[in-house]
Amino acid sequence: MLVDSAAIMAHEAKVCHESPPYEAADVGRASETITEVSYNVPVAVGEHVHVTLYNAGHIIGSASVCIEAGGKRVLFTGDLGRTPAVLVPDREVPKDIDVLVTESVYGNRVHHNQAESDDALARAVQRTHAEKGVLLIPAFSLERTQILLRTLERFMGEGKAPSVPVFMDSPLAAKVTEVYRSNPEYLRSEIKDAIKKGDDPFSFPSLRVTVNKEASELIDKEEPPKIIIAGAGMSHGGRIRRHELLYLGNPSTTLLMVGYQVAGSLGRRLKDGQKEVEIDGKRVRVRATVASLDGYSAHADMNDLMKFAEEVHPKQVFVVLGETEAATFLAQRISGFLGIPVDVPREGETYEL
């Protein structure tokens, strides 16, 4: 992930005539300092300071971080997973926490349930097949793509959706998917059992993985119907932009958003209904059907975040990592419904615990 981000930032820095914060060579040096740590094992990181990692239920290997220092236990959620998670075991709930620092990405929204999203995805595949169109799915390479592969594998195996050629057009997603296959002990029990039996929950007969540039470009020569899953999830970079440039002008195309779209991103503009966009310097008239579903989100939603705060039941809460409206809304709910003191820190503010 760091190598990929370094490449993206190098490109953006060149366009903006700036220096990137780190480069590919830095990634190697940083990686040499990494030490593997197990969940639920306190690790001394300084005199009288211990850190314990708890499964956050978000993506494979994700962790909430509990720091014990000065007689306080401070828990940082990081990205918290929803319940139930699709691929990974459900999040753990640490106890005896004094201060909770919680994310709030979906602090004012409730996800569609997975069954609704399954139905919407199946309908999109059926429409693509019937109209001989193209289904474009911008997807994050880590977790979201694997959720989609697992879901499509199930659909096509059960006959819920027709067998349509599916192209996973992402070298990074291919590498990440192999990490999931190789570490079944960190996945949900039913997926772990399937892998042990020799089944591959991330593959099916109509799936083609395109890694190199030449194979990616050959996708365009394939006659529809077809499904293309590619990064980046917010269409701010990656191979999905080339496919959007080619297919968004066609009324038989469906662009299906399956993840969070940050304000200002191309994905957000498309989701908000903008009818003409610029992609890599070229103007594109959007005639495709643009749809959005968030039932495959790996993030905790408002109800999940509230439930987690209630179960942890700290003495104090700080709400971070979210747009202002979402963070403020969640803070008000925690304060009003749980009666716990809450702050929404602004950049540069300092708090003493």
- In the prediction, which pLDDT does 294 show? 82
**3 state DSSP class of 257:** strand
The reply to whether 69 falls in a domain is yes
DSSP state of 53: E
- For residues 283 and 167, membership in a common domain is answered with yes
Instruction: Please tell me whether residues 146 and 89 are part of one structural domain.
Output: no
3-state secondary structure of 207: strand
- Answer yes or no: do 143 and 91 share one domain: no
What is the model's pLDDT at position 112? 85
Domain at 269, CATH number: 3.40.50.10890
Domain closes at, from 292, 310, 334: 292
pLDDT of residue 350: 96
Domain count, the chain: 2
Closest of 211, 158, 203, 213 to residue 180, by C-alpha: 203
Own/partner pairs, 76-81, CB within 8 angstroms, 24+ separation? 76/101, 77/101, 77/102, 77/103, 77/308, 78/103, 79/103, 79/105, 79/298, 79/299, 79/321, 80/56, 80/299, 80/300, 80/304, 80/305, 80/308, 81/56, 81/57, 81/298, 81/299, 81/300, 81/304
Cα→Cα distances 313→11, 57, 96, 158, 219, Å = 44, 19, 8, 42, 51
Q: Is residue 349 included in any domain, yes or no?
A: no
Q: Does some domain include residue 14? A: no
Q: CB-based contacts of 347: which residues, under 8 Å, 6+ apart?
A: none
Rounded distance, CA 90 to CA 56, Å?
8
Q: Is 132 domain-assigned? A: yes
Residue 26 included in any domain:
no
Which residue type occupies 212? N
Q: Which residues of 164-194 are buried (b: 16+ CB within 10 A; e: fewer)?
A: bbbbbbbbbbeebbeebeeebebbbeebbeb
Token code pair at residue 114: 């997975």
Instruction: Look at residues 134, 155, 132 and name the one whose alpha carbon lies nearest to residue 205.
Output: 155
Q: Which two tokens stand for residue 211?
A: 């890694």
Domain finish residue from 292, 317, 334: 292
- The answer to whether 296 touches 148, Cβ cutoff 8 Å, is yes
Q: Same domain for 206 and 335? A: no
Compute mean pLDDT per 10 residues along the chain, 353 residues long, and list them: 90 93 94 94 95 97 97 97 94 97 96 90 96 96 95 94 96 96 95 93 96 95 97 89 96 94 92 94 96 90 98 98 96 98 96 92
Domain that holds residue 76: 35-109+299-343
242 in a structural domain: yes
| Judgement on whether residues 317 and 176 belong to the same structural domain of the protein | no
Kindly state whether residue 28 falls inside one of the protein's structural domains: no
The CA distance from 281 to 71, in Å, is 56
Q: Which two tokens stand for residue 206?
A: 């109509």
Residue 137 in any domain: the answer is yes
User: Do 95 and 148 reside in the same domain of the chain?
Assistant: no
169 and 226, same domain (yes or no)? yes
Claim to verify: residue 170 and residue 281 sit in the same structural domain: yes
Q: Are residues 86 and 234 in the same domain?
A: no
Q: Cα-flanking dihedrals φ and ψ of residue 265, to 5°? A: -75, 160
Same domain? For 164 and 239 the reply is yes
Place of tokens 């690790």: 43
Of the CA atoms within 13 Å of residue 39, those in its CB half-sphere come to 16
Judge if 72 and 130 occupy the same domain: no
Say which CATH number the domain at 311 has: 3.60.15.10
For residues 148 and 219, state if they share a domain: yes
